[in-house]
Amino acid sequence: MSLYKIRRGTAEERQPVAALLHSLDAIAPSVRDAVVTAWVSSWKSSAYQDLRQVPHSPISPGYSLIDHVNDVARNGIDLAERARLDWGYRIDDDELIPILLLHDIDKPLIYARTDDRVISTPVGKAVPHGVLGAMLLQELGFADIVVTTVATHANDAPFRGETILGQILHHADAFASDHAFVRSGVRPGFTRRTL
Ligand SMILES: [Fe+2]
Ligand SMILES: [Fe+2]
């Protein structure tokens, strides 16, 4: 079992990956470059021929991860604008947008498609969702807040730091995931009572 390998990929591999991702042009060139390298590394370390084949989750296998990630990016950018304008938060797009675009970077590595369903890979059974992605992002030199927010974003994470970036990711992700669940005929999270 291999967790992942960092791969820059060729220009022919990087360009289509960059074209799939929302709002890359809103971040600094060096950060944009690292976001694309993270996606190429995850994709090339996975069994998927095409990144668009990666599913959002085992219970929403028809919804693509890339569509989900772009949903989360758009939601999070809108929420960040409200937090800035209405509540006075200072939010750096070079931290926000990588968090939104990379929060599920490990899903190509932890989910595999069989003939009729989506199952966990051996890597997915060995390392929690979020933690594996954070390892990859740490290796690529992302800011600590990007690494720690991705590491703790999963629903079953033991805790989350109290940061505005974590708060934005949580709500952007939940809103987008519920959309994917509704589209997939699965009961969305917002209809479940928690506490
Ligand atoms: Fe996630
Ligand atoms: Fe997500």
Ligand 2 center–CA 161 separation, angstroms:
17
Average pLDDT over residues 133-156: 98
State the Cα–Cα distance between residues 175 and 188, nearest whole angstrom: 9
pLDDT on residue 195: 58
In sequence order, which residues have a C-beta less than 8 Å from that of residue 194 and are 6 or more positions away? Answer: none
Average pLDDT over residues 18-43: 98
71-85, 120-134, 180-194: least confidently modelled range: 180-194
- Mean pLDDT in the chain? 97
Higher pLDDT, 119 or 116: 119
Burial class (CB in 10 A: 0-12, 13-18, 19+), 75: buried
- Ligand 2 center–CA 60 separation, angstroms: 12
Distance CA 35, CA 168 (A): 19
Query: pLDDT tens digits for 37-64?
Result: 999 999 999 999 999 999 999 999 999 9
Q: How far is the CA of 175 from the centre of ligand 2 (A)?
A: 9
Spell out the domain ranges in the chain: 11-186
**Ligand 1: distance of its center to the CA of 56 in Å?**
9
The CATH architecture of the domain made up of 11-186 is: Orthogonal Bundle (1.10)
pTM across the whole model: 0.97
